[in-house]
Each structure stands twice: as structure tokens, then as C-alpha cells.
A and B are shown apart, each in its own frame.
Chain A
Amino acid sequence: MSGIEEIKNILTAPISITYQNIEELKNHIDEERVRFINVVGKNGSNSPDLNIFSNEIMEEIRIRFTGKKSPLQEWLKSLRNIPNEERKSAGAKINELKSEIENSFKSFSENYRIQVENKKLNSETDDITLPLTQLNLGSRHPVMTVMRDLMVPFQRMGFSVVDGPEMDNDFFNFEALNVLKDHPAREMQDTFFLASEWVLRTHTSNVQSHAMKERKLPLKIVCPGCVYRNEFDMTHLPAFRQIECLVVDKGIHMGHLRHTINELLNAAFARPVKLRFRSSYFPFTEPSAEVDVECQQCFGKGCRSCKHTGWSEIGGCGVVNKKVLESCGIDSSVYSGIAFGFGVDRIAKDRFAISDLRSLIDGNVSFLKSFGLV
């Protein structure tokens, strides 16, 4: 391969461009061909050494061999100087070289481009161990994520999302739900009072009383929302979230309740889970039950998270007490209902293994950012 000097010499060497006859021209053409092959190789097959070839040199080569002032062009212009009968074959000779040079140069340029590109690519290897770009992504609060996920199965089962007030009066929060006047739940120890007859709702069940009184039957509703109890420690926030569902229709019974809860919890845990129904008591349902799901940490073996019982408590449910239907103006001999309610914070606590519920209200950005979409 020619060195840079050699190439420069070829490119700058004076060339005789005049000819008197075809023989002379043929000599010129052969010499020019040799010079060109010297630069780009036969058919332009040389592999260009990037120490010698640069974009500038490539351009110089193009100009020197195919430019307006290149010998080829000059020779074409000079065709009129030779005898008529020779002109045709002389022109053919020139054009032959011209297309040869053009084709070879094209291949050579392609080789050059590949070389340049490879050199560039080879010099651009990143250190994949460097810290990644800090993306400014926000996050949803884990409790809200759980809440949203738990709402999906309800909605798919045909429950309508219904809202209710967080400040409500005795009637909707207690009375209509068969929580009578002297019930301990109505004492200051458990409930936040705003006035003697007004409280911060202690459960989302107040939405049930509103819906039963204010909406048309049949009802198939799910009520997500914030509720309040006068308790504050590692396992209790005074403001926390519940989801509650209510169905009131003709012929509704406990079997429907089981179906709803099975479906919901299988969907929530994304696999069939083992459930346990324990008899319990709530003023607003009869029969009442607490629902336990097999502890998802130990799968029933017993661990710290389930206090060695193998079960973790999910929520309460039951067949709506006739007294509740009646105090909301529903004929209990025609209609019956089922209800199921549970705390969202507690499920979030289990799902994300949060030991102290108070960290949920702390607002620590790193803590918040550590939660994904599931």
C-alpha cells in the first residue's frame, strides 16, 4: 500500500493532457489507469489505511480522477484535435476508463466508509458498570396501589363504585346500621366526634346506609374510602382506608357472599388462596363472619407475621341484618343483602412487609420511591 507521500505525489504530479492521435491517447489512458490502480487497487479493492485516507484525501481523489478538470474531462474536450475517424473509438476508450474509475472509486469509497464506521464504533464502548441515569419517575402510595388493585375484581364482577361522606351523622354511621345508642363504639374512646350527633365515619358502612336510602334497588356497590378511629400506634392509624361491598337484591344469601369473597381474594393474590370463615359478630350483619386467608408468608405453617396461627385476618362479612334493611326503608321480606368489608392498610402492610404503619404517613421520598406498580 502506498504511503501518504506517494498518494500525494500521484495526486499532484503534472499530467500531460494533450494528445495528437489515438495512440498517444491510449498511452495516456494506460498511464492514468496505472496511477488510479496505484491509489485504489484493482477495481477499487484496496482496503484504505485510515492513517493515510481521510475525507479530504478521498475528495481530492475524486476531483483528481473524475472532477471537471480531471484528465478524463480534458481528454474528452480535446477529442476534436484528432482525426475524425479516430474520434469515435477514442471517445469509447475514454468512457471505458471513466466508468472503470467511477465503479472502482465507488467500491473504494464504500470500503473507506466501512473502515471509518468500524473505527468509530470500535472506539465507542461504554462502561456498563457506571451508575444508570436518574429518571425522574414518581410513584403511587402503596396503600393506593393496593386499593386500586383490589377495586378491579369488584368492578369486573359488576359492582358500581360509590362514594360517601367522611363526616356523617349518627344515623348513617350508627343508627341505621343497628349500632344502638349505648354501644361502646359510640363512645369517645373509639370514635372522633365533631358534635354530639356528628362523627368522622368509623367505617365505610355509612355509604351503605346512604345507598340503601338514596339509590334504587337492586344495589351492587363497592365503597372505597377513608375512615377514622381514635387509635394510633404501630398497627393502627387514626385515619385509614377500607373497601366495603354491599349487594341488596331478591334472594341474596350467604352463598353469594362466599362467591364474592373467593373471587376477590383469588384475584387479589393472583392465585387460588385458602380461606377460613370464622363466626363473629357485627351489629349490621347476621350471620356474621370474619374471613381469614392462609398466611401468605408461611402458607399455613405458622410464622411471626401470622402470630403462628397460619392465618391472617382479612375482614368481616355477613348477611345484612334485617333491622338494617328496615331502618333504611327496605322491605326485608322481599329483599336480602350481603356485605363484606376490609382494611386496605393492613393488606398493604402484609403485601409490602411494612412493620410500622406509621411509616405510611411519614412521606420519606426514598421509602415512597421504593414501591413499583404492583
Chain B
Amino acid sequence: MLASLNFVERFITLPKVTQNININSKNISTTQYDLEKIAPLLTRQGFEVDSIQVWGAGLETVVVGYIEKIEPHPTAGKLQICQVNVGEATLRQIVCGAPNARADIYVAVALPSTKLPNGLEIKPSKIRDAESNGMLCARDELGLPTNKEIDGDGIWELDIDSQGGVPRKILENKIGYPIFYALNMTDTLLELSVTPNRPDMLCHEGVARELMAGFTYAKITFIKKKDAEFAAQVTLTEENIKADAIKNSRAKCGEISFTCENHLNIPAFFVLIDSIEVKPSPAWLRNQLEALGQNSINNIVDTSNYVLLAYGQPNHAFDLEKLSSQNPKEKQLILRNAKAGEKFIGLDSKERSLYEADEIVADIEGAQAILGVLGGEHSKVSSQSKKIVVEFANPNAVSVRRTSRRHGRQTDASFLFEKGVDVQKRYKAALEFFALISAESKNKPHYCSTIHSVNAQKKPMIVTQFNANEIEFNSHDQEKVLGANIIPYKDQLEIIESLGFTLKNESESKTKATVPSWRSQDIAGNADLVEEFIRIAGIDLVPSASFQSQAIVSHDDPQFAFNEKISSRCSALGYNEVISLHFMRADDHAKLSLNSINSLGEPVALINPIIGDEPLMHTTLIPDLLRKVSRNISYGIKSGQLFHSCRTFQNRDANGERIFNSNGESIGLHNELTYKLDNTLEYHYTHGYAYTKEESQTGRPVETPRLAGICFGNKSEKTWQNSAETLWSLHDIMAHVQEISRSVGVEISFARISDIENNSEFQFHPIAKALHPGRRVSFYIKDENNKSVSLGWAGELHPNTMRNFEIEVPCYVFELNIAILMHKTMLPKEVTQRVTNAQKFPTITRDFAFLLDEKITGKDLNDVVLNSIKDIIKSEVPAVLNSIKIFDIYRGKGMPENKKSVAFQISLEPTERTFTEKDILKLTKSIINNVTEKFNAELRGV
């Protein structure tokens, strides 16, 4: 809400301060609004002042001038040389090209140093050899709206009322004064945030009311103005209008009779006015509208806008005679829904094609207005208009909102209707409309009558009698809601009364409060009344009070804490955490070479995505991570690690039932999304996490927490300490995943995966095709029944995947289902594996190297070594095997074909005594014998 303080001052006086400014060596004392006393109140009361602007700020050096003499420019035909009095000792010479520049007029003079709104800076200059010390301005050069019909196309003549001017008598004494000041145009505009429950604050009367309550409590003096309304100047009353409106469904305006047919079943009434005189608005009205950024059109249109801005009552005036009808003496408007494709030209001269849902005001030819949104060009009030019909309809708020959005056009009227207007005050607004045009016309217009529209049942739809809501308000209500006695009951009542409530005291501690019409939507019970007085007094007055509650520490949902643990381990492993928008693209599955869009679970499509190519909620965190890697590379960051811990979503409940049957319809993915689900392992709908404690998760889409990580580029860079880079490897990322699982006490096992279904050797995984065939792995844990459950996967990106995501450095990725991991950690733990005794004897290590067949895997070797000493360390040489570490694998030069040299180190911790040479010999012998025998290997060194 843009509130003009000048406008508010029509209703109440506002506190002011006097300031002296020095312009053009004149000391001018100006009175300005005391914003310190106004803005903080509004903010505290719930209407944050977002910005404050002063209309005319920056134009203080544009002053009133008087052209004393004028002569043609000696060399330029169109220019004239003016001698202008700006209140200085001598006249100023200013060259001007405006056709209306002449002697004996008052003009706006921009003195040198003025910076005009269009950016032009005024400097003393020579124009075709004639000196010019300033500029005579047209209205538009000062950033003011210009109406060609009224303002012509020359400079601004300050004594013309319709141009916003003041009489010469006044100007005579204001020569050299800033024009905004001299013309009483200075205004302060506050941009207020108005909450949706307070549409009554979307007009200046509302702002005045709210300020009155604030001033009353803050003991700032003000006077409520009695002459704020024009109604006092006419004999017509609100009661007359109400009586006419409820009685008449037809009335005559001169010789033309008027009716309205209502197919929308909304309340509507129409005021008929004859013998109007359409002319430019008076200066005060024009300036008031222009300060608020509106254009002044003519007295009728401006009055319509004035009623809206003053009372929040939208209305629309039609030129009665321009309405089409079969009989020119019988005019009719019809409230109805538009026909699809019906054409309408609005006041903005744009042609629109209407929708069936649009509600319109039509004559027999077609739409004359979009109801509550925009008037029509054809029947608008023009200088020839004599008879008008002013519509006061109360369209449905939702309908107006949707219509206004459909047409991408929000007007002041539609905005007010969306928020809700005070229906009781419609009749008063109609009266003000008539009273204002009457007050500002010499030849008085004639009020003919007011009529209501009729619906199919011949019902009027309007009401003129309203019941007010009464609330019982008690003295103890304050303590109940606010926890303390903050202000006395008497003061509470005073505030409530100042807000327009009518009070009826029933006892010392009990009052009946009647809700004013403009608050009927919003005030329902006594908590509302507590809110009303504390909002005026300031919520800051509520004292803080500590809780007296049970200490409950066992009700936490575990996921937040679990996620913190996992995430801190990831960052300890060098990963940098990222966040995303949780969306996915429709072609991401193709880029990952998945069989279908449903391979990792059926994604949920948004009906109204905000990013056109990301219409799906993600089922996997991988595509987003890959895009982030690609972006890093484009920034020149060629190496790094990222992780993302986030929920994923699918269109299935925990039992596998589809939730949204028209999933993807609005974005054309409906068919694809109904593909059958693959066997999706850890992406299966049974592996989600229940985020509610509802009795059943049936009918609720599965949400699954996942963790994904990526290592791209180099593991370590060249430095002065380290002469070569190293690349990431599959074993790095496997170790990471192992450490992440261990950090929450879970041991995992590894298995190779295949992209071929029903592969006898390896488990199929839908993501396998996106990965390097030799470098991909899945992770398993044992569930409570000792069954292997897939936890997730890792691997190097396949070159195809790299190309699809524009990544040109090697990249290792993993993704885990955190719900499965969390479930596992909550099972009872086996603690037998933990070494809890402090070490007593020195650890012994021994190195071995063997020549092995290429096909022997690390696990094969590990198993044989382990078995070879297992029994010995149990009793004979009591020890714990710490590790079997392969530290060198050598192929190539000097090695036979298909052979490799593998070196490993075993580390043993004696548990009962220090090892003797004999003990060690026994162990090494057993290892050597077993390895050489089982693998037909050759010992290369011990």
C-alpha cells in the first residue's frame, strides 16, 4: 500500500516539524511531516514501512519564475530569449523553444545545478550564441505525468488549475520558491506492508484510522477532520442510496431506462447520474493522484480513483449512452461469464481474448469490463459523456484473483477485490462519488437513482442491513494470552475503542465489543482483541517468562543427529558438502544410461515446475552432483570432492501403490512414468523412511534419505613437497564408504556389479551402465535376519556418462541409502569384534613377496594368508592379526606373462608374551608354504 500523507491528512491532522531550507539564496521555512512520530507506530502496529519517499525530492532548485520580457533569438527561428524573474536582483536570461513561452506567465525554472529526473543536468550555457542560465520546464521534464489534452506540448504554466497550478495572486509572492512547495505539491509517500488479514489498510481512510489509534495510545495530539467527506455538501444521503438500491431494479436516467441482469449471483448495484460535465480535474485532485503515481484523466475517472484510494472501494463508471442496446432508450448491462475467445479491448487499449472462467460486465454487443479487474475502452467516460452509470459490484475474491492472473493484469481494483472489500461501506462510497463530482462542478450533476441487479430468480442479491459481530472481552484475557498483566483493563478498552470498536460495558471486568464493518473478516474472538491492544501498545511490552516443563530428552527423531554424524565424517574424509534444489531433469535417466525413467524408482513430477527443464523431484542425488562437477571444471577447478545428504522421493507408498495417478500429465511424461519399476535394490520403495507417526504410511509417497559423494580430478596435486599428482581410485572411494559406515558402527562388504540382468556371476544394478565396467562395486550389509541387503554403489564414471554431463576428468561416485544404514545401526550391536584390552607386547610385522598368477585377487590372497596362521595364533603363538596389507603390485618388465609380483605385510599383536625368533619362523613358514602351494606361487622375498 502506497500511502500519501497528504491524503491521510484529509482525514486527520498529522504531527509536523518545521525546517528551514536555503534555495536560491532564499531562506524558506517549510513544514514537514514528523516521520519519527508516524513511521515507527505503523511498523509496530503491524504495517512495516518499507520505504519513505518525498514527492518532489531532488527538484528543490526548480523554482517559480515569471517571464518579464521575451524576444526572438537572432539566429534560431524556433527559439526565444526570455528574461525571467526568479526573485534575484537581476533577471535571468533563458533560451526557450516552447511555443507557449511568452511574457507575463509563471513558469517552472530549473536553475543551474538541477538534475532533472531524465538525467539532464542544467548548466549555464550558450545556445546558438545566446546565453542561457537555466531551463524553463515542461511537466514531463520534471517527471510529472502529462495529459496532452490538458497540458498541451509546451512548458508548464503554473497558474492553470487543471495543470495542477495555483492562482497568480499566490504565485506573485512565490517567485523564486521551489515549485513543489509553492504549489503545495510536496507530499510524503510511505510504502506499507499490509498483511492479508487487513484489507481495510489498503486505503487512506484505513491508514488514518490506524494512526488515530496509535496517536491516542502514544498521546500524540491530532484532530479528526469533520470536513473529510464531500457528502456533507449534498442533500443526498447514504440512506437514500440504500433505499433506492434495495427498491429499484430499473430506473431512468433522463429518457433512458437502465437495468442489469445478473448471471453471476454476486451483489451489485448501480448509480445513475445525469447531466455530468466532463472536464479536467481540479489541481488538488490531480496532484493527489499524481503523487500516488496515477494519471489524471478527467473529473469522473479521477473521482472513481479517488473513492478507491480514499475508502478502498473499487467502482467503475460507464458512459450510459455508449452501451449498445436494441432500443436506445432501454440500456442494460449483463453480469456473466465470458464466452471462450470473446474479444475485449480494455482501458489500456490492449485487445484480450477472454476465457470462460472470466467474469465480465457486458452489453448486448459484448464485454464492456472484466469484472473487478479492468474497464473497457468502448464505454469509458469521455469528454462528450453526459449520463453515467457507476457500477458497485462485489465480485468473488478468488475469481478476481484468478482472472487477474490469467490476464497478467493486476489493477488497484482487482488487488482490493482479491483481499476483500468492506461491503457495508459500498453505499457510502457511492454517495462520496456523487458528492465529489457535484462539489467540483458548477453545473450540478443530477442523481437519478440507484438500482440493484437481478438474477434469474429476480432476487436483488444485495443487502443493505448488516449484523455486527459482538465479542465478550474480559479483563483476564490479557494474562491468559500474554502471560502477564501488561496494561490496565481501562487502557485496553480505550485502545480497542480507538480502533473503531463500539463498547458496551457490562461490569468492571467484562465488556461487549462490537466489531466495526471493516474488521468483520478478521476479528472473531477475544484472542483477536488481545492482539489488537497489544499490537498498538507494542508486543515488546510482553515480558519474557521461562518454562516450567518436564525435562524430556528421549523424544528426538534420530535422523537429524544421524545425519550430522555421517556428514561430519564425510567432511573429515575431504568431501565438501553441497545443497541442491532437489529437482531432476526429465532426461537425467537417459544421461545415466538407465533403462527407464523409473529405474531408480518412479519420480514425482511437479505440476508447476519453476525451472522448465527440471520438472521432477529427484530420485537420486547423482545428476545434480555431476552438474556441479561440470560447473567446477568450467570454473577451472579441476579437482575436488563433493557430498550431498538429502531426501529423495518416489511416487509409491511403502507398499508399492502408486500415489499420483496422473503423475507427469501436465508435462507430458505421463506414459513414461507408468513404466514398470525395475528391481531397484536400495532404490526400492520398501527402503524408505517413515517421517510421520501416522498409524499407516499407506497413501504417503516414500521419502528416502540418501548420501552421495563424488571425487573428481586428482587426489593430490603437484607441490614443492610432492613432485607428481595422484589420481583418485576405486579403492579410495570404497575406503571412504567403508569409513562412513564404520563411523556409525556398520561393517559393509563389497561385490562387483553388472549391467546385464540375470548375470550369473555378478548382481545386476541399474546404475552399472553409467559406470566403468571394470571399476564399479556395490555395498552390502547384513540385515537382522542375516540376509545381505544392498546399501549402495560406487564406481568410476563411464566415458559415456562423462560426455553426457560434460565432465572431462576422471570421476568416482557413490550413493548410499541412509534409511538402510540407519535401520542397521538401530539393531542390537555385536561387540565381540572390538579390541578393548590395552596392548602389552610389541607388534611384529613381516613382509613377503610372491609371484602370483594374474587372476588371483586380493581377497584370494588375503583368505589364504589368514587361514594359514589362523590356528597357530589361536593357541601356539597367541596373537591378534591386525592386518594383511598389500603394499606393492608389480607387473611388466622382468615378470613372466600373466604373472604379477605381490608384496604384503602382516601385522600381529602378541597377546600373552613377546614373540621369539622361533615363533616368528613358525608363522612365516606356514604363510610361505600355504601361499606357494595353494597358488602355485613363487616366493620372491621375505
A residues with CB within 8 A of B: 130-131, 133-134, 136-141, 143-144, 148, 151, 157-158, 160-167, 182-184, 187-189, 192-195, 198, 200, 210, 214-215, 218, 220-221, 224, 226, 228, 230-232, 237-239, 247, 249, 253-256, 258-260, 262, 275-281, 286-290, 319, 321-322, 336, 360-366, 368-369
A253-B482, A278-B46, A287-B530 in contact; A365/B642 too (CB < 8 A)? Answer: yes
User: Are the C-beta atoms of B540 and A137 separated by less than 8 Å?
Assistant: no
User: Are the C-beta atoms of A218 and B483 separated by less than 8 Å?
Assistant: no
Q: Which residues of B contact A157 (CB under 8 A)?
A: 547
- Shortest distance from the beta carbon of B629 to any chain A beta carbon, whole Å: 8
**Does B833 belong to the interface (CB within 8 Å)?**
no
User: Are the C-beta atoms of B542 and A255 separated by less than 8 Å?
Assistant: yes
User: Are the C-beta atoms of B574 and A131 separated by less than 8 Å?
Assistant: no
Contact among A189, A231, A362 with B631 in the assembled complex (CB-CB below 8 Å): A362
Considering the chains assembled together, what is the distance between the CA atoms of A221 and B717 in angstroms? 47
Contact among B564, B607, B625 with A194 in the assembled complex (CB-CB below 8 Å): B607
Q: Which residues of A contact B692 (CB under 8 A)?
A: 164-165, 210, 214
Considering the chains assembled together, what is the distance between the CA atoms of A166 and B617 in angstroms? 11
A167-B649, A322-B527 in contact; A194/B198 too (CB < 8 A)? Answer: no
Considering the chains assembled together, what is the distance between the CA atoms of A256 and B481 in angstroms? 10
Contact among B484, B527, B543, B640 with A287 in the assembled complex (CB-CB below 8 Å): B527
User: Are the C-beta atoms of B482 and A164 separated by less than 8 Å?
Assistant: no
In this complex, what residue of A is CB-closest to B719? A134
**Does B195 belong to the interface (CB within 8 Å)?**
yes
User: Are the C-beta atoms of A255 and B610 separated by less than 8 Å?
Assistant: no
Total number of residue pairs linking A and B with CB closer than 8 Å: 264
- Shortest distance from the beta carbon of A356 to any chain B beta carbon, whole Å: 15
Q: Which residues of B contact A143 (CB under 8 A)?
A: 579
Q: Which residues of A contact B715 (CB under 8 A)?
A: 136
User: Are the C-beta atoms of A194 and B604 separated by less than 8 Å?
Assistant: yes
- Shortest distance from the beta carbon of A204 to any chain B beta carbon, whole Å: 12
User: Are the C-beta atoms of A249 and B549 separated by less than 8 Å?
Assistant: yes
Q: Which residues of A contact B528 (CB under 8 A)?
A: 286
- Shortest distance from the beta carbon of A195 to any chain B beta carbon, whole Å: 5
- Shortest distance from the beta carbon of A207 to any chain B beta carbon, whole Å: 9
User: Are the C-beta atoms of A365 and B48 separated by less than 8 Å?
Assistant: no
**Does B841 belong to the interface (CB within 8 Å)?**
no
**Does B184 belong to the interface (CB within 8 Å)?**
no
User: Are the C-beta atoms of B482 and A276 separated by less than 8 Å?
Assistant: no
User: Are the C-beta atoms of A365 and B720 separated by less than 8 Å?
Assistant: no
Q: Which residues of B contact A192 (CB under 8 A)?
A: 606-610
- Enumerate 20 A-B pairs (CB-CB under 8 Å) in ascending A order: A136-B574, A138-B575, A138-B641, A139-B576, A139-B577, A141-B578, A144-B577, A160-B553, A193-B606, A194-B605, A195-B662, A210-B694, A226-B582, A249-B549, A256-B546, A258-B542, A281-B195, A287-B531, A363-B629, A364-B637
Q: Which residues of A contact B557 (CB under 8 A)?
A: 160-163
User: Are the C-beta atoms of B691 and A258 separated by less than 8 Å?
Assistant: no
Extra 17 A-B pairs, beta carbons < 8 Å, given A141-B579, A160-B552, A289-B539 = A138-B574, A139-B577, A141-B578, A158-B551, A184-B401, A200-B617, A232-B610, A238-B583, A253-B479, A255-B544, A258-B544, A259-B546, A279-B46, A287-B481, A287-B527, A365-B641, A368-B577
Considering the chains assembled together, what is the distance between the CA atoms of A46 and B447 in angstroms? 129
**Does B480 belong to the interface (CB within 8 Å)?**
yes
- Shortest distance from the beta carbon of B579 to any chain A beta carbon, whole Å: 5
B481-499 residues with Cβ-Cβ distance < 8 A to A are: 481-484
Pick out which of these stretches binds chain A: B371-379, B504-512, B565-573, B804-812: B565-573
Q: Mark B667-692, 1 if CB is under 8 A from A, else 0.
A: 00000000000000000000000011
Q: Which residues of A contact B120 (CB under 8 A)?
A: none
User: Are the C-beta atoms of A166 and B649 separated by less than 8 Å?
Assistant: yes
A278-B46, A362-B631 in contact; A188/B607 too (CB < 8 A)? Answer: yes
Q: Which residues of A contact B481 (CB under 8 A)?
A: 253-254, 287, 319, 336
Q: Mark B182-210, 1 if CB is under 8 A from A, else 0.
A: 00000000000001111000000000000
- Shortest distance from the beta carbon of A245 to any chain B beta carbon, whole Å: 12
Contact among A151, A210, A255 with B560 in the assembled complex (CB-CB below 8 Å): A151
User: Are the C-beta atoms of B547 and A138 separated by less than 8 Å?
Assistant: no
A226-B647, A262-B544 in contact; A364/B560 too (CB < 8 A)? Answer: no
A165-B703, A253-B483 in contact; A184/B196 too (CB < 8 A)? Answer: yes
Considering the chains assembled together, what is the distance between the CA atoms of A322 and B539 in angstroms? 19
Contact among B44, B479, B527, B627 with A278 in the assembled complex (CB-CB below 8 Å): B44
**Does B902 belong to the interface (CB within 8 Å)?**
no
Considering the chains assembled together, what is the distance between the CA atoms of A215 and B555 in angstroms? 10
Considering the chains assembled together, what is the distance between the CA atoms of A360 and B570 in angstroms? 19
Considering the chains assembled together, what is the distance between the CA atoms of A184 and B551 in angstroms? 40
Considering the chains assembled together, what is the distance between the CA atoms of A109 and B180 in angstroms? 101
Considering the chains assembled together, what is the distance between the CA atoms of A24 and B817 in angstroms? 94
User: Are the C-beta atoms of A279 and B539 separated by less than 8 Å?
Assistant: yes
A158-B551, A364-B635 in contact; A230/B610 too (CB < 8 A)? Answer: yes
Considering the chains assembled together, what is the distance between the CA atoms of A139 and B572 in angstroms? 8
Contact among A130, A193, A288 with B531 in the assembled complex (CB-CB below 8 Å): A288
In this complex, what residue of A is CB-closest to B694? A214
**Does B561 belong to the interface (CB within 8 Å)?**
yes
User: Are the C-beta atoms of A215 and B647 separated by less than 8 Å?
Assistant: no
User: Are the C-beta atoms of B483 and A256 separated by less than 8 Å?
Assistant: yes
Q: Which residues of B contact A224 (CB under 8 A)?
A: 560
Q: Which residues of A contact B574 (CB under 8 A)?
A: 136-138
User: Are the C-beta atoms of A363 and B631 separated by less than 8 Å?
Assistant: yes
Q: Which 7 A-B pairs have the closest CB atoms?
A: A363-B628, A255-B483, A255-B545, A253-B483, A281-B195, A138-B571, A279-B46
- Shortest distance from the beta carbon of A172 to any chain B beta carbon, whole Å: 8
Contact among B482, B568, B716 with A255 in the assembled complex (CB-CB below 8 Å): B482
Contact among A161, A188, A220, A259 with B561 in the assembled complex (CB-CB below 8 Å): A161
User: Are the C-beta atoms of A160 and B662 separated by less than 8 Å?
Assistant: no
**Does B700 belong to the interface (CB within 8 Å)?**
yes
In this complex, what residue of B is CB-closest to A277? B539
Contact among A160, A277, A278, A322 with B556 in the assembled complex (CB-CB below 8 Å): A160
In this complex, what residue of B is CB-closest to A232? B610
